[in-house]
Amino acid sequence: MKTIIEPFKIKSVEPIRFSTVAQREEILRRAWYNPFLIHADDVMIDLLTDSGTSAMSAKQWSGIMDGDESYAGSRSFYRFERTVRELTGFTHIIPVHQGRAAEKILFSIVGGRGKWIPSNTHFDTTRANIEASGAEAVDLLPAAGMQPRLRADFKGNIDLEALESFLRDKGPAAVPLVMITVTNNSGGGQPVSMANIREASRIAHSYGIPFFIDACRFAENAYFIKLREKAYAGRSVQEISREMFSYADGCTMSAKKDALVNMGGFLAMNDGDLAVRARNLLIVTEGFPTYGGLAGRDLEAIAQGLEEVVDEDYLKYRVRSVEYLAEKIISKGVPIVEPPGGHAIYIDAKAFLPEVPPHEYPGQAVVCELFRVGGVRSVEIGSVMFGKYDAHGILIPPPMELVRLAIPRRVYTQSHIDYVAEVILETFERRNQLRGYRIIEESPVLRHFTAKFAPLH
Ligand code: F0G
């Protein structure tokens, strides 16, 4: 088989500023060993997130010039609405400035004290918006989803038995909706099968409870369904996506992922009453319903991006470039969540640094060393991000200590990925010399964004 090449040519480039190890040691020190506090110009390969970091196509950029900036009834809104409706089948399409704005509107309406929202795994902003409304966010991930080295096709699936007994226990009055995140970002970027989506929807509906999809990475999920679920091998990603959405009553979407834009999102639903309430909130917090916190040009770029993202040559390259990086490092013994997900590699920091206990933040140690060795920026998804304290101030760690290297869409080439593999392998060879970190300053919520660290030497 021939090399799977990038299915694009490059017309516009941005320089990467190279630095030395000594310079990066100083950069780390000045940023308090927190990758969120490093200036982007000091990063050589930025794998902090795949969100809002896509390279847009020439057609998207021409859509930017073509965008209609009318306050009401913009032509770009109607193109956006038509594209989203054709893709998802939902009746009401409400633009918002990013995914969490959709979450905020949805859960301000359906959330509240005494309510529970189950999911396979809520993303942290989803959880935060549910909790801010007074409701409880519940993750129902099967045990298999939490075993990094266990290879299975659909480790993002929701636990159907747990869902059924949860709904039986709480009853429909306490559960305003059931949610499923595709792909399961916090669970390692793992896909959810069509069978699981269909069954979760059936269970929710059997209790009269609406079913919503967090659709950020719907196209990557649909492509995994095509590759791994036999009945779908001959179906197009567009058809598969349409079927996924057909089981749902609505979705939240961060267009910063699979709509290939730098900003944007939407909330969609079939329920007309819910849509009226959502639009009323939208007008207060985001904007008039035909622009909702976005410029007309953004709506144009989203519509174009949604058409491009279901292209299977693109998805083949996308999924392959992540898998290619995974193969290179697995073959040398680097422990990662297997099989790799659609948008990122997740290093298993517990296995990478078994000598560093959770309260010394092994993931943070790996993040800092990847930057020191090669200027690669990644992010800890473990005790720094999700750790809580008990009444005595002792850390309660989450089940996994991971380091995420998220691959921006259409930004880096194969040689960049080769370089990243070299940096990971050099870090792995030096693992016996790595030490943990302690937190010297932190905020009470979402502390990973601003916390200051000091190395333990
Ligand atoms: N849901 C999922 C599954 C996400 O991954 C994100 C964002 C959101 C919702 C919120 O969307 O950022 O547009 O408000 N994830 C980014 C990440 C931040 O790095 O994984 P947003």
Domain spanning 21-50+311-455: which superfamily? Aspartate Aminotransferase, domain 1 (3.90.1150.10)
What number does the ligand 1 atom closest to the CA of 125 have? 10
Ligand 1 proximity of 181 Cβ (cutoff 6 Å): yes
What residues does each domain of the chain span?
A: 21-50+311-455, 58-308
Confidence of residue 225 (pLDDT cuts 50, 70, 90): very high
> Rounded to the nearest whole angstrom, what is the distance from the C-alpha of residue 402 to the centroid of ligand 1?
17
Candidates 125, 192, 378: which one to mutate for ligand 1, based on the most atoms within 8 Å of Cβ?
Answer: 125
Does residue 380 carry a pLDDT above 90? yes
| 139 vs 145, more confident | 139
Q: pLDDT value at position 444?
A: 86
Q: Which of 158-172, 343-357, 435-449 is predicted with the least confidence, judged by mean pLDDT? A: 435-449
- The model's pTM is 0.96
Nearest CA to ligand 1 atom 15: 51
As its CATH architecture, domain 58-308 has 3-Layer(aba) Sandwich (3.40)
> Rounded to the nearest whole angstrom, what is the distance from the C-alpha of residue 50 to the centroid of ligand 1?
9
Ligand 1 proximity of 99 Cβ (cutoff 6 Å): yes
Give the pLDDT mean for 146-174: 96
Does residue 129 carry a pLDDT above 90? yes
Separation between Cα atoms, residue 23 and residue 40, nearest integer Å? 14
Query: What ranges make up the beta strands (E) of 182-337?
Result: 211-214, 250-254, 265-269
Does residue 333 carry a pLDDT above 90? yes
Ligand 1 proximity of 129 Cβ (cutoff 6 Å): no
Separation between Cα atoms, residue 336 and residue 331, nearest integer Å? 11
Separation between Cα atoms, residue 242 and residue 236, nearest integer Å? 10
Nearest CA to ligand 1 atom 19: 49
What number does the ligand 1 atom closest to the CA of 183 have? 3
Residues 6+ apart with CB under 8 A from 149: 335, 338, 348, 351
Confidence of residue 378 (pLDDT cuts 50, 70, 90): very high
> Rounded to the nearest whole angstrom, what is the distance from the C-alpha of residue 140 to the centroid of ligand 1?
19
> Rounded to the nearest whole angstrom, what is the distance from the C-alpha of residue 177 to the centroid of ligand 1?
19
Separation between Cα atoms, residue 46 and residue 59, nearest integer Å? 25
Of the candidates 12, 86, 55, 8, which has an alpha carbon nearest to the alpha carbon of residue 311?
A: 8
Does residue 222 carry a pLDDT above 90? yes
DSSP three-state, residue 48: coil
Q: pLDDT value at position 233?
A: 97
Give the pLDDT mean for 435-452: 92
Write down the mean pLDDT value for the chain.
Answer: 96
Residues paired with 454 in a beta bridge: 438
